[in-house]
Amino acid sequence: MAEKRYDTIFSVDYDKKWGKIDKTHKSFLSKFLSFLPEKCKILDAACGTGKYWKLILENNCQVVGIDQSEQMLIKAKEKFPNCETVKIGLQEMCYENEFEGIICIDAMENVFPEDWTLVLKNFYRALKKKGYLYFTVELIDEKKLKEAYIEGKRMGLPIVEGEVVYNGGYHYYPPIKKVKEWLYEVGFKIIEEGLSDGYYHFLVKKL
């Protein structure tokens, strides 16, 4: 569902509409980069059009971008022909011990509740020991979440709290407490966290 929407709708003018980098995203990314050694390899998971690659490359790091949307990857490749891109889902990625850092920015809301730990484990496995992960969790109004749940149930959908189904789209907004439990279970340590620009930001480390 998300793949088709990004291929056919959002990729067309993504940079024009959403190309600006928010202050908090930039500051978390800078902190993330400051922890990494020079010339390291970073995975941008669900990279979209490569919005953050200029900043990463300026920091003398190499970037590999993965995404399930071919059209988003084409846009990234047009801007950064020398960067490697791979069409694969967060759920299917199978890198092992390969990256000093991973970012997954403004994308986890597309992941189903039952896939969250799978994706976090995939990040964990892809990181080298003591590697860092920066990811965001989108936030929405509690009232809207409750209404979406009631409406979903009324429509007979097998949804759980936090899931929102809207004109052909889908998002899942897990409680931040739950995200912290998952991170702990998988083996990540939270280094820094913060709430701003409509997202909860996590900078975590593989122990």
Ligand X SMILES: C[S@@+](CC[C@H](N)C(=O)[O-])C[C@H]1O[C@@H](n2cnc3c(N)ncnc32)[C@H](O)[C@@H]1O
Q: Does 59 bind ligand X (CB under 6 A)?
A: no
Q: Which amino acid is at 25?
A: H
Q: Does 51 bind ligand X (CB under 6 A)?
A: yes
Q: Which amino acid is at 58?
A: E
Question: CB of residue 110 vs ligand X: minimum separation in angstroms?
Answer: 3
Question: CB of residue 106 vs ligand X: minimum separation in angstroms?
Answer: 4
Among 43, 85, 102, 110, binds ligand X (CB under 6 A): 110
Q: Does 64 bind ligand X (CB under 6 A)?
A: no
Contact 115, 91 (CB under 8 A): yes
Question: CB of residue 177 vs ligand X: minimum separation in angstroms?
Answer: 23
Question: CB of residue 25 vs ligand X: minimum separation in angstroms?
Answer: 8
Q: How far apart are CA 89 and CA 87, in angstroms?
A: 7
| Three-class SS state of 159 | coil
Chain positions 115 to 134 lying near ligand X, rule: CB under 6 A, are none
**Cβ contacts of residue 184 below 8 Å, gap of 6+?**
none
Question: CB of residue 112 vs ligand X: minimum separation in angstroms?
Answer: 9
Q: Does 69 bind ligand X (CB under 6 A)?
A: yes
Query: How many chain residues interact with ligand X (CB under 6 A)?
Result: 18
Among 2, 64, 120, 137, binds ligand X (CB under 6 A): 2
Nearest to 83 by CA among 52, 111, 105, 113: 52
Q: Does 72 bind ligand X (CB under 6 A)?
A: yes
Q: Does 105 bind ligand X (CB under 6 A)?
A: yes
Q: Does 85 bind ligand X (CB under 6 A)?
A: no
* Buried residues in 70-94 as b, exposed as e (16+ CB within 10 A): ebbbebbbeebeebebeeebbeebe
Q: End-to-end alpha-carbon separation of the chain, Å?
A: 35
Q: How far apart are CA 72 and CA 46, in angstroms?
A: 9
Chain residues binding ligand X by CB under 6 A are 2, 6, 46-48, 51, 67-69, 72, 89-91, 105-107, 110-111
